[in-house]
Chains A and B, each alone.
Chain A
Amino acid sequence: MRRTFIASILFLSILLFVLARKAAMRGATFASILLIAIPAHADDASPLPNTTILELKLGFFEPRVGDSPGVLGNPYVQTFGNSPMLLGVLEVDRSLLHAYGYLGVGLSVGYGEKYAKALLADGTPSGEATGLIVLPIRAMVVYRYDVLAHVMHIPLVPYAELGPVLYPWWTEKGGSVEIVNGEKGSGFRFGWGFSLGLALELDFLNPTSSREAREDAGIHHFYLFGEFNDDFAANFGGAGINLGAAYFAFGIAFEF
């Protein structure tokens, strides 16, 4: 139990390290990780079977278009107002090592769109709609610290995800892809992104049903979760539109 506690501290330290924006803070955090990593590594928790987790989540997503190179104003706000788009995401994770926490890979695909009236020259709304559509795709390394739930029976699973992102995107006006002076408003943006989240394992609500779901349908756990995401989808500072965003998402997941 002591080692589990130490490992919990380790996980939280890693989260702090990822979140720390300044180099000095990262250095201090890294040192603390080293100090506690060795005893935690000695833990001999028994391996669990590798599992797959399917997640459905919704988030409110407002891309950092105003941070695009060369952009003076904020075309997103100018067009759509201060209103984020609703983003739906389907994610599948698969563990590769499930001994001390859940270490695996994941792939997610999302869809978000935002529409408003295109503007006339005087800035008033016209009779046709314009839209921005994004299709965020992520490949991730996933770590879920499910030791709290499995060993200490605390139904909380903190987790972190990190990996490259690809953002196919397009704009529409009048029902088709917007073209301005022969330039098509569509393309891909890439970069990287991470997520930090906390899942609530729902088994405790009805242990009998949970056991039956595991035995009959092979579903090990159900979760509700919330997470913070930050995607840097701007071609690592290259020219073009910045579609990255920091956003919260919430959803349901089941592990089988």
Chain B
Amino acid sequence: MGLLLPGVTFGQTVTLSVDGASTTVGTATVTTPTIAGNGTDCGYSVSGSWTGTSLTSACTSLQIWLTTSSCGTAPSTTNSPADVVVYTAQAGTLAGGLTSDSFSFVFDTLPSFSTNSCGSAVDFTNVLCAAVTIAATGGACTGTTAEASPVNIRYDNVLPDPPTVSVVPLDTQLSVKLVAAGSGTTASDIQYFQVQYALELPDGGLGDYITVGGNIAATSGRVTISDLVDGNSYVVVGYSVDEASNVSANSTPVVGTPVLTYGFYSNYLDDGGQQGGCGDTAGGGPSTVGFLIVVVFAAARRRG
């Protein structure tokens, strides 16, 4: 997640990396440059690091802070909720050659938690910022400010809507299609789906639910349940999972019944067609291929 600010002049840069190369915060999913957590991540310690170049002439401390608004060049003294500084490297330390360091903060120190308790069903995004000012020629502290590209820190403890599920019966299979409910941000927030199915028993009850297909990408939204029995009915439900790993309630159950179908080969055999010849006897096919190869080889040799 290293981020380089393209607008810095004179070669000074500050790069932020949060949670190292990891793509998760606790159990949550990260979509660069956003990391997201849910209610189970309140006590999680988010670790990060920064690296900088050409910072020996820094005239301010390098600060890393959390804010509810845009970053700017330093933590705001007027924001409400107040910005939270999570790391400071003094200018003298930078002048001594410090070019990288690590930091951490607990997830529930996000500024927005000053008005929302961690664990409540809210969805907000704060921003992690880093900046340092470089002395101008002559020593005045009016030079360029090196800013890191911000990293979004999202807290999302709102369950997504369950998907809409439809089923197409196939031969010993059910083709399942899932569509994210809602629209716009709500739908695009869905990262993947999960599907379960259960056999409908003769007494009207259900067998055990079986999970199938693993995590089904939201961009695909399709999975095929195989190895079923034609004529039996199966109940299928789907779940949506969002960026912060929140799992929706199950979708409205859909019943599907696999059915015997007749493909081309079935029709051929049903019409009296025979197996046989090269198609199904071992060795016939390869020997013919060999014959063709010999023909071509012989022709090539003759030409040569």
Residues of chain A touching chain B, judged by Cβ–Cβ distance below 8 Å, are 50, 65, 68-76, 78-80, 94, 96, 105, 107, 116, 118-121, 126-128, 130-132, 137, 139, 163-164, 166, 168-169, 171-175, 178, 180-181, 183-190, 234-235, 238-241
Contacts and interface: CB of A to CB of B under 8 A. Distances in A.
B85 to A, nearest CB: 57
B299 A173 contact: no
Contact of A168 (B170, B285, B295, B296): B285
A240 B264 contact: no
B262 A119 contact: yes
B212 to A, nearest CB: 16
B265 to A, nearest CB: 3
A190 B278 contact: yes
Interface string B145-176: 00000000000000000000000111101010
Interface string B180-223: 00000000000000000000000000000000000000000000
Contact of A130 (B175, B264, B276): B264
B167 to A, nearest CB: 9
Given A127-B168, A166-B289, A174-B170, A118 B263 contact: yes
Interface of B: 168-171, 173, 175, 224, 259-280, 284-285, 288-289, 291-292, 295-296, 299-300, 302-303
B87 to A, nearest CB: 53
Contacts of A71: 268, 271-273
A73 B268 CA distance: 9
A240 B267 contact: no
B277 A239 contact: yes
Given A186-B279, A187-B278, A239-B276, A96 B303 contact: yes
A72 B272 contact: yes
A239 B265 contact: no
Nearest to A239: B276
A79 B267 contact: yes
B261 A173 contact: yes
Contact of A173 (B168, B259, B263): B263
Contacts of B264: 75-76, 79-80, 116, 130-132, 171, 173, 178, 185
A120 B261 contact: yes
Contacts of A181: 269
A178 B265 contact: yes
A116 B272 CA distance: 21
A73 B125 CA distance: 67
A68 B170 contact: no
Contacts of A188: 277-279, 284-285, 288-289
B146 to A, nearest CB: 54
Contact of A120 (B168, B259, B280): B259
A104 to B, nearest CB: 8
B243 to A, nearest CB: 31
Given A120-B259, A128-B175, A188-B285, A68 B268 contact: yes
